[in-house]
Amino acid sequence: MEEGSGGAAMHLLIVDDHPLFRDALASAVKLAFPEAVIDEAEGIAAAMAVLAAAGTVDLVLLDLSMQGVLGFEGLVSIRSRFPRVPILVVSGLDDPRIMREALQHGVAGFVPKAVDKATLTRAIADVLGGGLSIPAALSDEAAGSAPPTQLAERIARLTPQQLRVLLMIRQGKLNKQIAHELQVGDSTVKAHVSEILRKLDVISRTQIVIETALLDFDQIRMPQAG
């Protein structure tokens, strides 16, 4: 995939305060996606400026641990101001708890910096394709959860609208984004999410992502409106 929406060249933004890693990441992306336009930012303020000026950015590759950034505040800042831009975290942190919390904040994927280029490229392609990139550590957790057949049976209990909401949750979309796309109120989306949690027998949006990580959602056709 070398084109963004509307046939334009794919536009990526790398946000990391280590110049050498930014260069290495940009080189890896260019090798896999030669036509991609790549911007770089050494911090959240610079990233915000690029996003504000660019018009369309197809993907942000974000490091969580940067100078002057505490915890998830940089991620939250970008998500709150630019909620429609997919974010793939590329971090030196590989604690599953941090990965789960990042997913809970609506990122489209999480890739440890130690992965090889092929894994990174696959994660980027998955996210650009509208999917999620689940770290191996969390995929292992998913493998130990409900068997796929049981989970598929639970998903079959969802109404068409609840299935739409589920697929959007897997894409890292926030309730407000889901409400806008479905043209319903925030309270309606919250009600759908509550029902999805109940029917899938999970306790959080993050667990929804983890539990459904091994299911082949390409085989699930998005219900048509009405």
Q: What are the pLDDT tens digits along the chain (226 aa)? A: 455 544 567 899 999 999 999 999 999 999 989 999 999 999 999 999 999 998 789 999 999 888 888 888 899 899 888 888 889 999 888 788 888 888 878 788 899 888 888 889 989 988 888 777 877 666 555 444 555 567 778 888 889 899 999 888 877 788 888 999 999 999 999 999 999 988 888 777 777 777 776 565 555 544 444 4
- The whole-number pLDDT of residue 6 equals 47
Q: What is 11-142's CATH number?
A: 3.40.50.2300
- The whole-number pLDDT of residue 93 equals 82
Q: Given strand 87-91, what is the order of strands in its sheet?
A: 37-41, 11-15, 59-62, 87-91, 109-112
The token pair that represents 164 in the structure block = 């739409």
- The whole-number pLDDT of residue 61 equals 96
Residue closest to 181 by CA, chosen among 169, 195, 199: 169
pTM of the model: 0.65
Fold match, 11-142 / 150-219: no
- The whole-number pLDDT of residue 216 equals 57
Distance CA 39, CA 34 (A): 14
CATH fold of 150-219: Arc Repressor Mutant, subunit A (1.10.10)
- The whole-number pLDDT of residue 18 equals 92
Domain borders along the chain are 11-142, 150-219
The token pair that represents 135 in the structure block = 């770290």
- The whole-number pLDDT of residue 50 equals 94
